[in-house]
Structure 1
Amino acid sequence: MIGTPRIQSLPQGIEVGIKALAARCREGEKRIAAALRELEAFGYLQRVRDRLPSGRVITRTIFCNQPTALLRPRRPAPARPQASAPNPASEHTGPSEQPAPEAPAPLPVPPPPPPLPQAPPSVPLPPSLPLVPPPTAPKLPPGPIPRPDELTPELDRAATALLSDLHRRAPQFTLTETDVRQLVPGVAAWLERAAHPDAIRHALTDDPPVPLKRPALLLKHRLTELLPPAPPDTQELAALTHRPRITVTPFQTCEDCDRAFRSPTPGHCRDCREHRAEDLRTAA
């Protein structure tokens, strides 16, 4: 079926009459005429009758992409002046003057379609922050090294021994005495939270950067950022250990009808027990 997309694909100014479209399309003139009537009903197409300078009346088909442009009332064509009858008093023997041919009336041009509503101006969005800050971005000051609730002598000795022995397992982590005294509170906080010494060594010395320029600064960063959580309280552990258990009644098989039922002890199902009680009452 010939339709709006087919006519819109044709160049501007080409004929869109029934015979002209039948020559371009595979559909017959009847189907094309029905389609044109449907487009005319929806306002896409309009047919006007025009008179040529020769006096012939033709039907002109106008197609527009905007139906509202054709639905508007057309301006009336200017009236043509009628030829007056010859005045016999003005006749003379000289050559008669013929009036100049009248110019054809201009074809009505459909008014332009109404302007489409413009979208409101979009509010500029703030630029998204980069995922990786540039090298020139200001760096936040490092956080304080963690400290235990109470630095007991036992924790102090254990933390000092662990830090002083790091260079035996990882030679690049050779610390000065000042570095050890500054890092002892952080290791003591890990030991207070029940962290194993081997786990602390692995967390502090695993996969260091190459080359390692400042080992004490790396240890301080890892002691602060990788601090494990505090262990749960004794009452919380007791509550988790002694929480009430849900008792599940097991399935049993009825000795009379082999039906499955829940009961702590084997025996008969409810229906069989009722039948047995009724039989006993009948026998009594």
Structure 2
Amino acid sequence: MDTQQNTALTRALAEVPGPLPTRGVIHITIPHTDRFTVVGNHLAQHPDLSCTAVGLAVRIQSLPQGTEISIKALAARCREGEKRIAAALHELEAHGYLQRFLHRLPGKKVATRTVFCNQPAELLRPRRQMPAPVPIPLSVPLSVPVSVPVSVPVSVPVPAQPQPQTRAHPQAHPQARAQAQPSAQPPAHAPKSDPATAPEPEPVPDPNPDPEPEQAPAPPLPPASLPVLPPPPPPPFVPLVPPPTAPKPPRPPLPRPSELTAELDRAATALLSDLRRHAPQFTLSEDDIRHLAPAVATWLERDAHPDTIRRTLTDDPPQPLRHPAKLLKHRLTALLPPPLPGACDLVAPARPRVVVMPFQTCDDCDRAFRSPTPGHCRDCREIREYRGEDVRVAA
């Protein structure tokens, strides 16, 4: 009874496709939906890199753009020491995953820039040329990208119709009959004429031409198929933590009282000067006291007790406390209490008064009924009205 059964693990193992291996590791793969990094097997299973170098490469690949990855910065993030991190960075640099180069800054300054590539082998391969974009027909909406393959209509060959031969009429001119039969050989005694200088014979129209047969209509071309639109791209990943290079919102200003009187200024200055007696790390300069005095005066104007202000400003400071004036400025702004409500605000709103009719006893049947004055109930009034007797009407 003391052995705890892990039902979640049993259910997950039952959902693994295929038979489970008899030895070795069993993978339970759950798809990631956010906060994940794609790592290639060429890095995770690199035979020449140590596990420290592989883990450090995965850590660097998961960091956002602009994150500091110097040896001291990585040592502050990881449990490994600086020597071990430096050796791992040298391994990554030897295998092409990490590259460092000098970048000249304005003013004759030089800075070291670090570049991390997740696939260094792809940098050595020649870049493949992109295929030429296919022209989009006018029937396609303009929202279709140019790189989408568009189906081009293929022309279907149409069989050529035989041209009808014009039969020569038996009574036609002999020259027209000769034109109707171009394959006939000329007579032997006919002189050879130069085709360039010989005049062309005028064609003689046939008095009874045969009607030309109607040509069959050409088969219609297949309609051009519309391009298949690609699925909409997934929404971009929005990190929950903004990168270090993101612009920070402006800080709210220090609170100021509605009227900074001499008494409030003197009391606020005395309270700030007295903080070092209770917490020596809150020793402020004269400029800091002069800058923070209006904010403390705002607290005093809102009827905050001096002991409450002192305890709120000095309790649980960070260790080590490097900038006490900045901490007091933040607490005076973020923890400012609201003004106390007035006497009129604390009074409950008056509710409408409900008038309750008292109970009366009927003079005839002693039945209880509600009425402001004594008299008879409803039934007794109806009976008395029917009999014609006097009725004491109850309002």
Q: TM-score normalized by structure 2?
A: 0.34
